[in-house]
Amino acid sequence: MADRTVADLVVERLRAWRVPRAFGYPGAALAPLLTALDDAGGDPAFVPARHEETAAYMATGHAKFTGGIGVCLATQGPSAVHLLNGLYDAKLDSKPVVAIIGEDVSGPLGGAHEEIGLSRLFGDVCNQFVRYGRRPEQVPALLDQAFRTAAATRSPTCVVLPRALQVTAVPDLLPQTAGVVTATPGEPLARVLPHDADLDAAASLLGAGQRVALLVGQGAHGAAEEVVALADRLGAGVATSLLGKPVLDERLPFHTGVLGEVGTTAAAQLMGGCDTLVMIGTNDPWTDWFPLPGQVRTIQIDIDGRRIGTRYPVDVPLVGDAADTLRALLARVPDRPNPQWRGVVESAVDRWRADAADRAAVPAEPVNPQLVLRELSARLPREASVAVDVGSVVYWYARHLDLPPGVQARLCGTLGSMGCALPYAVAAKLARPDQPVLALLGDGAMQLNGLAELITVAHHWTEWPDPRLVVLVLNNRDQSGVGGGRPPGASVDRRPDVPYAGWARLLGLHGVRVDRPDLVGAAWDEVLAADRPSVLEAVVDPAVPLDVPEPALADLRGLVAEGDAARRVRERVIQTEAIAAEDLV
């Protein structure tokens, strides 16, 4: 039997961390590790992508859809550079990913073939942990530390493994011999709860509030019951961040929908009218749609103390798990329903829902993209996973797709990088091959990464018990970069048209092109019943307006009144915007 090598050790550590698959792009500097993965018989599997960027999105998508740690592999130089977007997505949306880079630089350093400064390149995106493996006995603990740091900090980490190290033979490592640190997989889960005094302060702040709004983010996953209990206890209205959309059943009568530019008028009105704001597990960047400065008293619940106050001034910070903290709060907050405020919120929700239906019914040339999302809403399988790209589709997803409880939907929320939906969908499908997956994207995102990753879909689909992976391409031929809403004109370059459904058929998949509003429902029925993955290409109108809700802060921008109060308000506007702008850099 061949000697056990460091590459075999790496595979063992991946297994110890229960990594089901690693996404990547092959290359010579990774060859020993890829051979070891080949020998591993699929435990873990290696999933090659068409591009390192999409491999990194797959790893991040895996983390987003499964709650596990994503793993991506690349080689030095250009291959490593390509990982960056996917890793920044993980960093900005707080997801654990481990990137393993194979390196094989020969020749004079400082200009050798494919030589780049990997530590510096990854120093920002993986600022919690970037390390080189140097000696075989370091490798198990090195990987454990990369995994544990990624999990504990909810961020990407990076390990560089020189090819020469990967091929080094290792004896069976003895525990705790000199220079050897024993490896320990697994992240010990801590229960994080705020101090009693802070919970008491939050309860008394809530007791004094008359018009309470809850803003729910992705950190509240698993806390839906507690959020609804608190809303009912206080007669509060609820809005979510874009990432928090799947947390709560959107059919609740006091659920105003997504807040922000892509969101609903009802959510903007909720923020405009409340006097008390409870932010739960959210790092929502759309601060212009938050209540006016000085309007509310605020509680923020977040498991990560570093997130407190980064988006909005906070009166009572509560650092803790969302569900546990809300339960502790519920034990202190008396029943104090407020039918009048609830009534105001519910009428805003009713008005918004009627408005949304009207918007989707407006005739367009040829199809209104909002109609396409509404027709899906009526048919969305309850066990589906939905991956959403960046572009105008986010607006339609946020406003028109009702997610039944249980449906998972994920997007590149904070980085806002195009080209993520197809790789996310692949990761979601490989994690749950017996359930349907949808990817929703524009023609630009399809051309950026989608066309290529459809090849990955075509390569894998016959292994899936439920072969449905439906790719919706909103083909508006618009290249303006603002995601529709501009009438085509001389200054707007048109995106080259591509037969997306035809490309699917060429790959042996199913493809449907729809350019009539009355056929959209039937087209959805067809792709959702297909016996293989499908592309539904909807030819939609680029001129449909995005209809951004009026932001709360807009009123203040034109403020001309003089006096101390006005100056203080202006200062807070500037301060709030500076915080938001800084965070978005």
Q: How far are the Cα atoms of 45, 257, 380, 456, 532 from residue 409, in angstroms, in the given order?
A: 25, 15, 12, 21, 21
Closest CA to 274 of 312, 247, 308, 244: 312
Give the one residue of 34, 474, 504, 553 binding ligand TPP; rule: CB under 6 A. 474
Cβ contacts of 562 within 8 Å, gap of 6 or more? none
Cβ distance 523 to 366 under 8 Å?
A: no
Q: Which is nearer to ligand TPP, 390 or 428 (CB)?
A: 390
* Residue 89 sits in the site that holds ligand TPP (CB under 6 A): no
Strand partners, 510: 534
Q: Which residue is nearest to ligand TPP (CB)?
A: 442
Closest CA to 298 of 264, 274, 266: 274
Closest separation in Å from C-beta 391 to ligand TPP = 3
* Residue 483 sits in the site that holds ligand TPP (CB under 6 A): yes
| Torsion-angle region of 579 (φ positive above 0: left; ψ -120 to 50: alpha; else: beta) | alpha
Cβ contacts of 81 within 8 Å, gap of 6 or more? 52, 116, 121
Closest separation in Å from C-beta 44 to ligand TPP = 29
The conformation of residue 331, written as its DSSP 8-state character, comes to T
* Residue 439 sits in the site that holds ligand TPP (CB under 6 A): no
Residue recorded with tokens 């699929």: 42
Closest separation in Å from C-beta 544 to ligand TPP = 10
Closest separation in Å from C-beta 482 to ligand TPP = 7
Closest separation in Å from C-beta 167 to ligand TPP = 36
Contact map string, positions 351 to 390, toward ligand TPP, x by CB under 6 A: ---------------------------------------x
Residue 376, both tokens:
């899906």
Q: Which is nearer to ligand TPP, 62 or 477 (CB)?
A: 477
Cβ contacts of 188 within 8 Å, gap of 6 or more? none
* Residue 450 sits in the site that holds ligand TPP (CB under 6 A): no
Distance CA 93, CA 510 (A): 33
* Residue 478 sits in the site that holds ligand TPP (CB under 6 A): yes
Q: Which is nearer to ligand TPP, 27 or 542 (CB)?
A: 542
Distance CA 49, CA 408 (A): 23
Closest separation in Å from C-beta 560 to ligand TPP = 34
Contacts (CB under 6 A) with ligand TPP, residues 526-565: none
Among 23-31, 68-76, 479-487, 548-556, the segment contacting ligand TPP (CB under 6 A): 479-487
Give the one residue of 414, 417, 456, 576 binding ligand TPP; rule: CB under 6 A. 417
Say what the alpha-carbon torsion angle 195, 199, 205, 208 is, to the nearest 10 degrees. -150
Closest separation in Å from C-beta 514 to ligand TPP = 16
* 302 phi/psi in degrees, rounded to 5: -155, 145
Cβ distance 100 to 10 under 8 Å?
A: yes
Closest separation in Å from C-beta 413 to ligand TPP = 12
Give the one residue of 372, 418, 507, 514 binding ligand TPP; rule: CB under 6 A. 418
Angle between helices 451-460 and 421-431 (to 10 degrees): 10
Give the one residue of 218, 264, 392, 408 binding ligand TPP; rule: CB under 6 A. 392
* Residue 476 sits in the site that holds ligand TPP (CB under 6 A): yes
Residues of this chain that bind ligand TPP (CB under 6 A): 390-393, 416-419, 441-445, 474, 476, 478, 481, 483-484
